Structure 1
Amino acid sequence: MEDRIGTGKALLILFLSIVVLVFAQGLAGLIYLIPFPGVILPIFYAALCVVLAYWAVNQLCKKVLKLTLRECRIDKPKIEVKWLVCAFVLPIAVIALLVSTPGEFVYNDIKAGEAIKNVIAAIFVAGFAAGVVEEMAFRGVIMKTLEMRWGKGVAIVVPSVIFGLLHAIGSNLHALDLLMLFVGGTSVGIMFSLIVYQSGSVWNSAIVHGVWNCMMIGNVLTIGPSNNENSIFSYILSSESTLLTGGKFGVEVSIVAILGYLFVITLILYSMKKQTGV
């Protein structure tokens, strides 16, 4: 049985894990000051961000938490087929449902070079970098820390709540927007946490997280109540209902997306129950 840790140490590790995110993203962002071609900058940023985060997480695990990366479920990358399938089916289903509601497709006629930059940034920055770094911190270090201090229930819920609340920083949201963000952010966080528990590896949640970001917020197709001129395509929703649009935060926390998260959560819980025979 793993040694339990004190509350003070658990809170310190939680704080330091957030610092790791800021450190990796901030330091890697300096690469944009270098006059490289714009097409390759996102690739360099993503690679540097992941390397810095991996190094920092490794130090945090070994020197503060006194565990190996493997014990924090950050083992060698190995993706299960079912989670690779889920990574694509979930956002495609949500997008399909959203564009089936009344609205208008818009092609923003941006230059080919800018469109290529958007696609590369979607894959490497929104997808690869954000997915891997956030999952190592939240579903790797933070979840393991809280599990050792307070058990699995707290380890699943608390990082998910924090994950949702962090996305509210600087968003200037109204009460209903905040409620949608809280419910949506917590739901998707619980989904990621359960994927890690069910698979035993953060890489499976990272692939689901990364593909979701790439498809939903990558400025390739933007869905919302107004046109995003920086996106290659936009689908302008006719409805202004916060339930459908997700409010100011966007369709990631719309009722359609939330139902998608809850559907995956239900399937995982059923699978885990079936495996344990409880």
Structure 2
Amino acid sequence: MAIWLLTPGHFIAAPALNLFEFARTLAGFITAVLVTPLIEELAFRGVILARLSANYGARVGLWGSALLFGASHLLNGRFQWQNALLILLAGTAIGLLLALVRATTGTLWASYLVHATFNGLPNLLMAQATPANDWPWTYLLTSHSLLLTGGEYGINTALANLVTYLLTAGLVFSRAKRHGWTLAQAELTRIQ
């Protein structure tokens, strides 16, 4: 969300909405918001975080699952080092945030809801550098800077969003600590 505050652009309506493309994009949106977060949460926070935590401790579990989550998103596009670095950093940061949400709440449902929201909002607002006819509106970015637009992987990997993920993870962790939660208390070895 930080991208709309920091990146110049404007909303435009699709000049000629292609209904077939809109239906396809809507199906993709529903999948990205409901199905993908469920599968990824079960895999990364339910299984990988649990196994790493059980075998190596909660700190390794949190960071290891986050790094694997970031690395798994390298498969989403062409491998160019600038784009790959952005997706690895952003994916690891959001993976750490989701792992902390899972660890501090004790349930996968909380990380699933955060993940679904994370996937949904940017896709709903459709911020991109080029206009498209597959959604009723687009936030057309007027900057073409890789750090502001996120490049090939989109605005979720933009520098402003990366900073936002890290700040949010820090806030989740510090708030949990203020309420007496410690990493040693994290029950991460089973799916809840």
Do these two structures clear the TM 0.5 threshold for a shared fold by scoring above it? yes
Q: Any runs of at least 4 consecutive aligned residues in structure 1 with deviations exceeding 6 A, and if so which?
A: none
Q: 2:59 corresponds to which residue? A: 153
SS in 1 for 2:44: helix
CA distance in 2: counterparts of 1:277 and 1:205, whole angstroms: 17
Asked if 1:103 corresponds to 2:9, the answer is yes
Q: Any stretches of 5+ residues in structure 2 without a counterpart?
A: 183-192
Is 1:126 the counterpart of 2:42 in the alignment? no
Distance change in 2, residues 1:140/1:271 (3 Å): same
Residue identity matched to 2:173: L
Cα 1:170–1:192 shift into 2, 3 Å: closer
The residue correspondences of 1:224-235 to structure 2 (distance < 5 A) are: 224-235=128-139
User: Is the contact made by 1:156 and 1:193 (CA closer than 8 Å) also made in structure 2?
Assistant: yes
SS of residue in 2 equivalent to 1:206? helix
Relative contact order (C-alpha < 8 Å, sep 6+): which is higher? 2
Identity %: 27
Report the 3-state secondary structure (helix = DSSP H, G, I; strand = E; otherwise coil) of the residue aligned with 1:212.
Answer: helix
Corresponding position of 1:211:
117
Match of 1:126, SS? helix
- Does the C-alpha gap of structure 1 residues 277 and 128 become closer, same or farther in structure 2, counting only changes over 3 Å? closer
> Which residue is 1:21 aligned to?
none
SS in 1 for 2:75: coil
Name stretches of at least 5 consecutive residues in structure 1 with no aligned partner.
Answer: 1-92
Contact 2:104 2:181 (8 Å CA) reproduced: no
Equivalent residue number for residue 275 of structure 1: 179
Q: Is residue 187–residue 262 contact of structure 1 (8 Å, CA) maintained in 2?
A: yes
The count of aligned residue pairs is: 181
Q: CA RMSD in A?
A: 2.2
Point out the more displaced range, 107-116 or 229-238: 107-116
| Structure 1 Cα separation of the partners of residues 111 and 76 of structure 2 | 26
CA-CA distance at 1:260 after TM superposition: 1.8
DSSP 3-state at the match of 1:104: strand
Report the secondary structure of 1:167's partner residue: helix
**Contact residue 102 and residue 238 of structure 1 kept, 8 A:** yes
| Residue 136 (structure 1) aligned with residue 42 (structure 2) | yes
Structure 2 distance, partners of 1:156, 1:120, is 32
Deviations 1:158-203 (A, max 9, x none): 1111111111115113211111111111000000000000100011
Shift of 1:96: 3.7
Aligned equivalent of 1:238: 142
Q: Note if contact 1:223-1:236 (Cα within 8 Å) is conserved in structure 2.
A: yes
SS in 1 for 2:140: strand
TM-score where L is the length of structure 2: 0.84
| Match of residue 68 from structure 1 | none
Is contact 1:221–1:231 with CA below 8 Å preserved after alignment? Answer: no
TM-score by length of 1: 0.59
Residues 14-60 of structure 1: CA deviation (Å, up to 9, x unaligned): xxxxxxxxxxxxxxxxxxxxxxxxxxxxxxxxxxxxxxxxxxxxxxx
